[in-house]
Amino acid sequence: MKRLTPTTRLLAATLLATATLPSLAAGMQGMEHAPHRHEAGDAAIGRPGKPGAAARTVKVDMTDGMRFSPASVQVKQGETIRFVVTNSGKLRHELVLGSADDLKAHYAAMLKNPDMEHADANQVTLDGGQRGELVWQFDRAGAVPFGCLQPGHYDAGMKGSVTVAAARQH
Ligand SMILES: [Cu+2]
C-alpha cells in the first residue's frame, strides 16, 4: 500500500481547508443577523415577570454619558419589578439583565456583530428618546448585574446591579 508523503498530506489538508472555508463563512454570515437567543428564564438571575404581578415600579434612565441612573437598585427576594426605562440620550441604549459571565459573552458577540438584533425577556433596547418596560421577578438573593451591551457602552462603564435581599424565613 502506498503511503502518503508528508507533502501530499499537507496538500490534501490544504485542499480540504480551502473547500471547507467558504461554506463555513457562508454559515457564519447567515448567523450574523439571526436574533440572539438564550435562556431567558435563567434561575440564577430570576425569570420574566407577569406585568400584573409587579408590586413596584422602578424608573431607570439611560444617558449618552454611558450611565444608568440609578445604577444600583434594591429589591426583595421574590419581588416582581416593573422597570420603566427611559433613553434620554440620542444613541441607542439597552438594559440587559444577566450574570456577569453572560453579559460579557453577550457583549463580545455584539462587538463582533454590531448589527446583531437581539431581543429577549431579560432586556429592553431603546433608540434615543424612547421609553420601554421590562418586568422581571427576582427569585434568588444576591446580585443581578445589568448592562448596556451596545458596542463600546459596557466598556465605558454602562453597567449596574440589582441587589436582591434575602426573604425573611418564618
Ligand atoms: Cu448604552
Distance 158 CA to ligand 1 centre (A): 6
* pLDDT at 34 (0 to 100): 41
* pLDDT at 33 (0 to 100): 41
Distance 110 CA to ligand 1 centre (A): 12
User: Rounded to two decimals, what is the model's pTM?
Assistant: 0.74
- Judge if the upstream peptide bond of residue 70 is cis by omega within 30 degrees of 0: yes
Distance 138 CA to ligand 1 centre (A): 23
DSSP secondary structure string, 33-96?
TSPB---TT-TTT-EEPPGGG--EEEEEEEETTTEEESSEEEEETT-EEEEEEEE-SSS-EEEE
Angle, CA 143 vertex, CA 74 and CA 45 arms, to 5° = 105
Distance 115 CA to ligand 1 centre (A): 14
Do the Cβ atoms of 62 and 89 come closer than 8 Å?
A: yes
Distance 168 CA to ligand 1 centre (A): 36
Instruction: Name residues with Cβ closer than 5 Å to ligand 1, which is an ion.
Output: 93, 148, 150, 153, 158
Distance 61 CA to ligand 1 centre (A): 11
* pLDDT at 114 (0 to 100): 76
Distance 154 CA to ligand 1 centre (A): 7
Higher pLDDT residue, 20 or 114? Answer: 114
Q: What is the pLDDT of residues 113-170, one digit of tens each?
A: 877 777 889 999 999 999 999 999 999 999 999 999 999 999 999 999 999 999 876 5
* pLDDT at 13 (0 to 100): 41
Distance 150 CA to ligand 1 centre (A): 5
* pLDDT at 133 (0 to 100): 96
Higher pLDDT residue, 64 or 12? Answer: 64
Distance 60 CA to ligand 1 centre (A): 13
Q: What is the pLDDT of residues 25-76, one digit of tens each?
A: 444 443 444 444 444 445 689 999 998 999 899 999 999 999 999 999 999 9
* pLDDT at 43 (0 to 100): 60
CA pair distance 47, 135, nearest whole angstrom: 9
Q: What is the pLDDT of residues 83-97, one digit of tens each?
A: 999 999 999 999 999
Distance 36 CA to ligand 1 centre (A): 18
